[in-house]
Chains A and B, each alone.
Chain A
Amino acid sequence: EVQLVESGGGLVHPGGYLRLSCAASGFTFSSYNMGWVRQAPGKGLEWVSYISSSGSTITYADSVRGRFTISRDNAKNSLYLQVTSLRVEDTAVYYCAREAVTFDYWGQGTLVTVSS
């Protein structure tokens, strides 16, 4: 069974940082592209970042480029999102998702709250 489990969210002040993690199991993690998608409270879905299976290709939404860094450790079956210089508008549930053709499996999400 495919499972994606996010962790690392929490309450942080504006300008702060967090490291989000996504533990994958039930599939060959190193064979799949992965991504992060976020959802602000009561709002729609926003794509955040993509990383290819080998980690050689990475891209970001303009809203986070230069502040967020996606990475993966295929040996640990884990995906990461380093989020820095956080803003109030970054408050959201952050989902990791497996990308096979499209986002076919999603984690349950981890909540990041940016507030003073």
Chain B
Amino acid sequence: EIVLTQSPATLSLSPGERVTLSCRASQSVSSYLAWYQQKPGQAPRLLIYDASNRATGIPARFSGSGSGTDFTLTISSLEPEDFVVYYCQQRSNWPYTFGQGTKLEIK
């Protein structure tokens, strides 16, 4: 099973700041990595697929990069609604796995 490790677990930032979230895989997942955003009480929403492709309707302030074992999600300028939880997920091998999540908090 491929383990995805997200860091840090929690980040305290202010609106308008730039943030980079990290996801590291225990073995190569090529570019088969996605990022999801989850707001309280809601289902996850796809942000980025295949490491760097923005999903339909996702604002340009969200971008993804990486390949192999190291990936990042960057939010260029935080909006108030961005202070929620983010998960990475690999589809390179079954079982599909998710990272444990990174929570963005307002400083």
Contact = CB atoms under 8 A, between A and B. Distances in A.
Interface of A: 35, 37, 44-47, 50, 59, 61-62, 95, 101-109
- Chain B binding site: helix, strand, loop or mixed by DSSP? loop
B89 interface: yes
Given A103-B46, A107-B43, 16 more contacts: A44-B99, A44-B101, A45-B101, A46-B98, A47-B89, A61-B95, A62-B95, A95-B44, A101-B49, A102-B34, A102-B49, A103-B34, A103-B44, A104-B55, A106-B45, A108-B43
Contacts of B74: none
Contacts of A45: 36, 38, 44, 87, 89, 98, 101
Contact of B98 (A44, A50, A107, A108): A44
A104 B46 contact: yes
A47 B95 contact: yes
Given A61-B95, A104-B55, A44 B87 contact: yes
Nearest to A100: B49
Contact of B50 (A46, A47, A101, A109): A101
Max chain B C-beta neighbours (<10 A), residue from A95, A105, A106, A108:
A106
Contacts of B36: 45, 103
Contacts of B46: 102-105
A46 B96 CA distance: 8
A11 B66 CA distance: 42
